[in-house]
Amino acid sequence: MTDDEAFRVFVAARTHALSRTAYLLTGDHHLAEDLLQSAFLQAARHWERIEGHPEAYVRRILYTQNISWWRRKKYAELSLGEHDVPAAAGDPDLRLTLEDALGRLTARQRTVLVLRYFEDLTEAQTATELGIGLGTVKSMTRQALGRLRTLAPELAELIGVTP
Amino acid sequence: MTERLKEELARIGDSVAPVYVAPDTWARGRRARRRDRVLVGAAALVLIAMVGGGVGLVRHESRETQPVEPADSDLVALPSRIWKVPEHVADQDQDGQWTGPVETDLAMGPASVAFVAAGRLPVLIGASDGRYHLLDLPGWLGEWDLYEAEGGIGVGLALSPDGTRLAYAWHGELPTSSTAPVPTGIRIIDLTTGKGRVALLSGGQGVVTTRLMWSPDGRWLAWTGLVAGHLSGAPSSAWYDAHLGGRINVTTMSAEKAKIRDSSAGLSINNDGTTAWLDRDRLAVWDGRHLTKRKIAFPNGLLDTPPTGAWSPDATSIAFGTFGSNAGLIPVEVATATNRQGLLLPDPPARDNLRRVQPLGWIDDTRVLAMVEQELPGRRAVSLVVISTPETRADDRLVTTTDFVTGEFLSVAVDLIDLDHPTADFPEPDWPWSTERQMVVGFGAAVGILWAGYWLFRWRRRLL
């Protein structure tokens, strides 16, 4: 299999899963698309130098690029609206409240929460992925959960006590 | 308990449709890789050439922007074209320092245009020479990363109608205690003397001014802002608790505050300090003591929150701008809160595929200077257009084109427009070279030196 074919197979197989992560990181379908597209482009650019599975490489770009984009303020424009995908089973009100509250966290807080509670990484793994200290991950997780609790008290049942 | 959080996050993730990945991603990635290699090769050649002392041909520009043509100090005008400031000039490095040749001496004379370039760098264009001044403004709040909590907020920067003063959102020294509020407010620079004055705005941990609008005579300044629940200057750390608005008497620098529903409401102020906010279909008018609110019925169910409005010279109406395919100017009569003239659209070609129309100020009783954004095929166009009211309908005039993709942060000295000679042609600024350009020129120079050396070698061998 050529590099070109391997890349296409990888993109076809992992786009759906990576789309979920990109959406949770950005909270916006269009930004998620830009973020994932940019990560795939970087993967294509450095394909022969990627050690191990390319998904880990792409995921790391998603995490760090998301924070970097917000810092550099490339997105001064507001999203035009929610994308129109069907809602999954569950409590839609709670989910919308959670999405709204997540959108009001800082990019770093949101990224840490996604890594810890969606990607199921340990604190140490999260610290490694983001290139920050273990203590920073702990304090940021605590701050993010606290802020969620402040922003949306109805999420208390979801969030529980601060770890 | 956080198991529930995991489940809800998983449900949100499951509801997301896969994003579209362009089929040429691989090809573009590989092209970028080839460019990387060429640049590395060029860099290596330049290094070799420099070690050999043979890079005299490599021209390294001074980091000063070059002055444009000699200026006639009596002539002040808008530029016929506004050039985009390249990103490599308008960015911040990792230490928060501007990468371009910024100026700290603000006594630069009247300016015609102010805008915020990529990287949040404030820029003024000289009214007499068209020269671009990249500004290192003391306490410029825009250099902080304040966008996070609101998903994208602007930071106020506005040029007075006569172009002699610049107002901007300001912050003072960070307090040593993390719980103490950050001093914030609005700073006004006199561009003749370079001196600044501050009107402090207090509330929460500081007030971030998001929009500024001068009265037509430049004696008042209206503002909207966000009261910060947290503000530290650290990247992506600010969040906001409340919306605020108000006005500043520019003569005394006294600030007054009013509680408003939304800081993104359309903002305008007239010569007696009466301030108005248009928040969707509600017009709030405030004279400093009394606040009256009236509901407005707009044609076609308009409108979305416009950033600013412009009071007519007779103070009877305010022209607001709108967004989207219904973009245009809506003059609203203040006394009755009615719109009798409907939507004013610019003439073609500025009418095609409109995205946003934003009034910048009235030129006379019947004409408004407006920023027009268009979504044209393959590109977004931003231009300055003079739009006439229907009563004395004259041809609309496109006066200035820009290289921007959004005119949201554009402020223009409207008084400088003379409709007989609305603009002047100034040459494009001679920006400092980017690293890539230096490499390409260096590569060309190195190849030239090697080529000349080769032919010199062959020529000498023939002589021998």
Using the Cβ of B19 and the Cβ atoms of chain A, whether some distance falls under 8 Å is answered with yes
Question: B13 and A20: CB-CB below 8 Å?
Answer: yes
Q: Could you tell me if residue B21 is inside a domain?
A: no
- Do the Cβ atoms of B19 and A15 come within 8 Å? yes
Q: What confidence score (pLDDT) does residue A76 get?
A: 37
In a domain, B20, yes or no: no
Residue B382 lies in a domain: yes
Residue B239 and residue B323 in one domain: no
Query: Nearest-CA distance from A137 to chain B in Å?
Result: 15
Contact B147 A108 (CB under 8 A): no
* Distance, CA of B411 to CA of B78 (rounded, Å): 11
Beta-carbon neighbour count of residue A143 at 10 Å?
16
Q: Is B70 on the interface with A (CB under 8 A)?
A: no
Q: Are residues B223 and B354 in the same domain?
A: no
Q: Which amino acid is at B215?
A: S
Cβ–Cβ under 8 Å, residues B123 and B116:
yes
Q: Tell me if residue B455 falls in helix, strand or coil.
A: helix
List of chain B residues whose C-beta atoms are within 8 Å of the C-beta of residue A108: 236
Which two structure tokens, joined as six digits, stand for B173? 């020294």
Instruction: Output the pLDDT for position B149.
Output: 37
Among candidates A15, A21, A86 on the partner chain, residue whose Cβ is nearest the Cβ of B21: A15
Cβ B145–A71 below 8 Å, yes or no?
A: yes
pLDDT for A86 beyond 70: no
Task: Say yes or no: B252 and B373 in one domain.
Answer: no
A18 pLDDT above the threshold of 60: yes
The domain containing residue B248 runs over which residues? 94-262
The count of structural domains within chain B is 3
Inter-chain residue contact B2 with A163, CB threshold 8 Å: yes
**Phi, psi torsion values for A158, nearest 5 degrees:** -75, -40
Beta strands in B69-110 (DSSP E): 78-79, 81-82
Round the average pLDDT of chain A to a whole number and report it: 78
Q: Which has the higher per-residue pLDDT, B198 or A65?
A: B198
- Shared domain for B328 and B220, answered yes or no, is no
The string of pLDDT tens digits covering residues A124-150 is 888 888 878 888 888 888 888 888 888
**Residue owning tokens 């529980």:** A160
A33, A41, A50: which to substitute to probe chain B, counting the most B Cβ within 10 Å? A41
Look at residue B374 and tell me if it is in a domain.
yes
User: Residue B372 in contact with residue B362, Cβ under 8 Å?
Assistant: no
- Tell me which H or E stretch contains B383: strand B379-388
Residue of A nearest to B145 (CA): A71
Among B247, B262, B277, the domain-final residue is B262
Q: Is the pLDDT of residue A80 over 60?
A: no
ipTM for the complex? Answer: 0.78
Residues B99 and B242 in one domain: yes
* Chain B residues within an 8 Å CB radius of A29: 16-17, 19
Which of A44, A70, A77 has its CB closest to that of B236? A70
User: Is residue B75, in this structure, part of any structural domain at all?
Assistant: no
User: Between the CA of residue B325 and those of B216, B263, B285, B354, B398, what are the distances in Å?
Assistant: 29, 24, 28, 6, 20
B321 in the same domain as B454: no
pLDDT for the residue numbered B135:
93
Among A73, A89, A104, select the one facing B145 at the smallest CB separation: A73
pLDDT score of A77: 34
A87-114 per-position pLDDT tens digit:
344 566 777 788 888 888 888 888 989 9
| Residue B406 is assigned to a structural domain of this protein | yes
Interface touch B10/A98, C-beta < 8 Å: no
Question: How far apart are the CA of A158 and the nearest CA of chain B, in angstroms?
Answer: 5
Query: Is B109 part of any domain?
Result: yes
- Both B422 and B298 in a single domain? yes
Asked whether residue B284 is assigned to any structural domain, the reply reads no
Give A-chain residues touching B10 at CB under 8 angstroms.
118
Q: Are residues B173 and B222 in the same domain?
A: yes
Check whether residue B307 and residue B333 sit in a common domain: yes
Do B191 and B224 lie in one domain? The reply is yes
Kindly state whether residues B310 and B373 are assigned to the same domain. Answer: yes
Tell whether B110 and B165 lie within a shared domain. yes
Distance CA B429, CA B68 (A): 7
B375: chain A residues, CB-CB within 8 Å: none
Low-confidence ranges of chain B (pLDDT < 50): 53-73, 148-152, 464
Burial of B454 (0-12, 13-18, 19+ CB in 10 A): exposed
Neighbouring residues of B245: CB distance < 8 A, sequence distance ≥ 6: B222, B223, B224, B225, B257, B258, B259, B260, B263, B265, B267, B275, B277
